[in-house]
Structure 1
Amino acid sequence: MSTRTVLHEADIARALTRISHEILESNRGPHGLVILGIPTRGVALANRIATLISEFSGTVVPVGALDVTMYRDDLHRNPTRAPQPTSIPAGGIDGAVVVLVDDVLFSGRSIRAALDAIQDIGRPAAVRLATLVDRGHRQLPIRPDFVGKNLPSSSDERVNVRLAEVDGEEFVTIQGADS
């Protein structure tokens, strides 16, 4: 099986616009929102979503980054990247509706780690999950609230997200195991 592109730049932009509107609608406006991206690409997506929400609502939405590396339960099996900085907006997250943003939702382990990390930072009123791609194969009972694209895939396939801010190009591909 070869590599195929499943989202192009315009598709990603449309998905993020839709997600941003859905977040605003479910929250009944921008007040009390805090958007936290999970490094690396989740941070770029979180910044875009916060910008879109601010454009739509006229209200600046706090945005930050939440590194979950040291909270993962699979560090002993999976080599991982070096921890990235966590940056929480000045107002903190206590009492806020926190929207976690990640690029791909797969097993759910990153999100479980993010929930543990949030507990160490504060006590939000609620935590929601936005993901650009939901590919299934959950190992934990985690479900996204906002999804750009559901992408059924085989567990041996690889979903690659490329974003302009991180990679200099923008698309999502799915790659077969033998590619």
Structure 2
Amino acid sequence: MSEVLNHKQVGQKITRMAFEIYERNINSAGVVFAGITGMGMNLALLLAEELKRISPLKVEVLEVILDKTAVSKSEVHLSKKLVLVNKTIILVDDVLNTGKTLVYAMKPFLDQEILKMEIAVLVNRSHGLFPVRPDYTGYELSTTLNEHIRVDVSGNHYSVQLH
């Protein structure tokens, strides 16, 4: 196991991603971070907090609840009802492996009149088995499918580790 990003580096990635989100959505009626259950939700909260600190944008957060171990069989739903009309949805997950989880996580937004949907991930492994590409990436990391990335953005110490 080796550390890929330490606490300070993860914090810097989050700040940079928040600035990019602000730049691309400066004229948006609002930004809704939709964090995927687990570390995706934790990352969404951190990005939302940072975006609120650096911008006047209206920022909201909700959780996309699904079973990551069986996404194709899992019911996908949102933690709360928000008015999403003409807002930017930023779907957030910690790691983009194949894209399958993100594809299923989009489902609750498909029948809504959102302005646009973007994707933010802390680590992009670039395996691309599904046609999903992040708009905001903290770190690009080429790995084999046998290697595992562990992201921890909970508590007071953030890290990204390769196993």
| 1:96 Cα offset (Å) | 1.1
| Paired position in structure 2 for 1:125 | 115
| 1:32 Cα offset (Å) | 2.2
Moved over 4 A (4+): none
| Paired position in structure 1 for 2:162 | 174
| Paired position in structure 2 for 1:42 | 40
| Paired position in structure 2 for 1:86 | 78
Which TM-score applies when normalising by structure 2?
Answer: 0.89
CA contact (8 A) 1:66 1:88 kept: no
| 1:87 Cα offset (Å) | 2.1
- Classify 1:51/1:96 alpha carbon distance in 2 versus 1 (closer, same or farther; 3 Å): same
- Classify 1:72/1:123 alpha carbon distance in 2 versus 1 (closer, same or farther; 3 Å): farther
Q: Which has the larger radius of gyration?
A: 1
Aligned CA-pair RMSD? 2.3
| Paired position in structure 2 for 1:13 | 11
| 1:49 Cα offset (Å) | 0.7
User: How many equivalent pairs are there?
Assistant: 162
Percent identity between matched residues is: 27
Once the two structures are superposed, residues 54-91 of structure 1 have per-residue CA deviations (whole angstroms, 9 ceiling, x without a partner) of 11113441111111339822x4xxxx9xx89732463x
Q: How does 1:32-71 map to 2 (within 5 A)?
A: 32-69=30-67
Higher-strand-fraction structure: 2
What is the distance in 2 between the residues matched to 1:98 and 1:137? 24
Gaps of 5+ in 2: none
Gaps of 5+ in 1: none
SS at match of 1:66: strand
What is the distance in 2 between the residues matched to 1:14 and 1:171? 12
Q: Does 1:27 align with 2:17?
A: no
